[in-house]
């Protein structure tokens, strides 16, 4: 869920982040954000109640600050994280203004969607008077968590998340804002989040022969193995060729274009979820991928998408309709609150 700030007072933002921090701590412990039944039923509930009895369900809530927080409104311009700026228009973009941008974001993940929805709903209620909801997506499925788990599949039926950032070393190099020169001190230990709402033309995709689907990704559908051979976690060989000289992994396949080997070594942490909005105006399935990625510089996403948007075989089947970028401050220590250092 993303929000537009309706205040221009920095203290209002500060108070909201502090109240959100306290509420998130309650929610992650499986508690309510306040009374469900105040004054014996004669008061308005502080908590809406639909997550009662459901427990914490592994809830996590990630808070992001959009570029607008650092514009002229709040006097925080000199605290702008070095790499935070609106994402420029990229090739093949088909963005809907109503699914784009935002001053704040909340990403709630849980084992039970009711727990996740309760969290964003009640946090949005707390924001009233300070921020209004801009756009929201309910995702489902499971984000990839590395080779220790089976890799989840996207709605195209392919394993998504096979070659992802997994080791601590990779997190330090590619995800956490940590190196000197990464910018604002208050962001140290945080990251940047890029979100894209990507619609899939599922009817067209489902009518495609599986061998072509595999060519699009450069991997097999059932096992997720690279077309150069081996099993799911075998390193793809982008040079391996057939007898006629054509490469086994198509040069315009999704993985050939996105792999770090083809992008100056850059990696991003992908944690996407599937979504559906029912049917579109033509009666077709309206569904796709809520692509969420984390990195220590959003330029890394831009670099990849500039290339993918221009040449990816996948473009025939997808359309980027939503987009936003947020600075994600580090999780607060006990007794502190999200982005506290920003206001020092």
| Degrees to nearest 5, angle at CA 189 with 185 and 193 | 100
Choose the binding region for ligand HEM from 56-64, 180-188, 243-251, 288-296 (rule: CB under 6 A). 288-296
Q: Considering the complex, state which of residue 127 and residue 156 has its C-beta at the smaller distance from ligand HEM.
A: 156
Q: Pairing relation of β-strands 131-135 and 60-65?
A: unpaired
30 Cβ neighbours under 8 A, 6+ residues apart: 54, 55, 56, 57, 59
Residue from 67, 81, 161, 322 touching ligand HEM (CB under 6 A): that is: 161
- Say how far residue 310 (Cα) sits from the centre of its chain: 22
Which of 21, 228, 305, 323 is the binder for ligand HEM (CB under 6 A)? 305
Q: Report the greatest alpha carbon distance in the chain.
A: 79
Q: What is the DSSP string of 48-105?
A: --TTTTS--TT-EEEEEE-GGGGSTTTT-GGG--TT--PPPP-TTB---GGGB--SEE
Q: Which stretch binds ligand HEM (CB under 6 A): 102-110, 204-212, 243-251, 300-308?
A: 300-308
Do 113 and 276 meet the contact criterion of CB atoms below 8 Å apart? no
Pick 158 or 186: Cβ nearer ligand HEM = 158
Contact call for residue 115 and ligand HEM (CB under 6 A): no
What is the three-class DSSP state of 215?
A: helix
Site for ligand HEM contains 156 (CB under 6 A): yes
Among 16, 318, 324, 342, binds ligand HEM (CB under 6 A): 318
Q: How many residues line the site for ligand HEM (CB under 6 A)? A: 28
Tokens of 59: 């809830």
Q: Does 325 bind ligand HEM (CB under 6 A)?
A: no
Least distance CB 89 / ligand HEM (angstroms): 14
Can you tell me whether residue 174 is helix, strand or coil? helix
CA distances from 224 to 128, 182, 217, 318 (A): 45, 35, 9, 20
Mask for 240-279, x = binds ligand HEM (CB under 6 A): --------------xx--xxx---------x---------
> What is the footprint of ligand HEM within residues 164-203 (CB under 6 A)?
196, 198, 200
Q: Which residues bind ligand HEM (CB under 6 A)?
A: 154, 156, 158-163, 196, 198, 200, 217, 219, 236, 254-255, 258-260, 270, 288-289, 291, 301, 304-305, 308, 318
């Amino acid at each position: 869920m993303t929000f537009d700030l309706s205040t221009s007072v920095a203290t209002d933002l500060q108070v909201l982040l502090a109240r959100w921090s306290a509420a998130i701590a309650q929610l992650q412990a499986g508690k309510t954000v306040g009374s469900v039944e105040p004054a014996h039923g004669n008061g308005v509930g502080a908590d809406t109640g639909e997550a009662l009895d459901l427990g914490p369900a592994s809830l996590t809530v990630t808070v992001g600050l959009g570029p607008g927080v650092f514009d002229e409104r709040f006097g925080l311009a000199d605290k702008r994280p070095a790499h935070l700026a609106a994402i420029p228009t990229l090739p093949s973009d088909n963005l809907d203004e109503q699914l784009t941008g935002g001053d704040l974001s909340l990403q709630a993940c849980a084992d039970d969607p009711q727990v996740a929805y309760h969290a964003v709903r009640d946090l949005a209620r707390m924001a009233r008077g300070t921020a209004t909801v801009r756009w929201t997506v309910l995702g489902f499925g499971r984000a990839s968590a590395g080779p220790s788990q089976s890799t989840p599949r996207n709605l195209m039926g392919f394993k998504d998340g096979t070659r992802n950032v997994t080791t601590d070393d990779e997190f330090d190099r590619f995800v956490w804002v940590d190196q000197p020169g990464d910018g604002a001190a208050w962001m140290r230990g945080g990251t940047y989040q890029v979100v894209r709402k990507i619609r899939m033309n599922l009817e067209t995709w489902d009518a495609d022969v599986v061998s072509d689907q595999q060519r699009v990704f450069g991997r097999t559908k059932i096992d997720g193995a690279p077309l150069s051979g081996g099993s799911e976690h075998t390193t793809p060989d982008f040079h391996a060729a057939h007898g006629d000289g054509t490469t086994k992994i198509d040069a315009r396949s999704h993985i050939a274009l996105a792999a770090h080997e083809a992008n100056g070594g850059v990696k991003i942490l992908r944690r996407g979820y599937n979504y559906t909005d029912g049917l579109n105006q033509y009666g077709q399935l309206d569904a796709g991928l809520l692509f969420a990625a984390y990195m220590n510089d959003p330029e890394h996403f831009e670099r990849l998408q500039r290339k993918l948007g221009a040449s990816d075989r996948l473009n025939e089947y997808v359309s980027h309709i939503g987009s936003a970028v947020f600075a994600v401050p580090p999780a607060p220590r006990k007794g502190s609150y999200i982005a506290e250092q920003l206001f020092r």
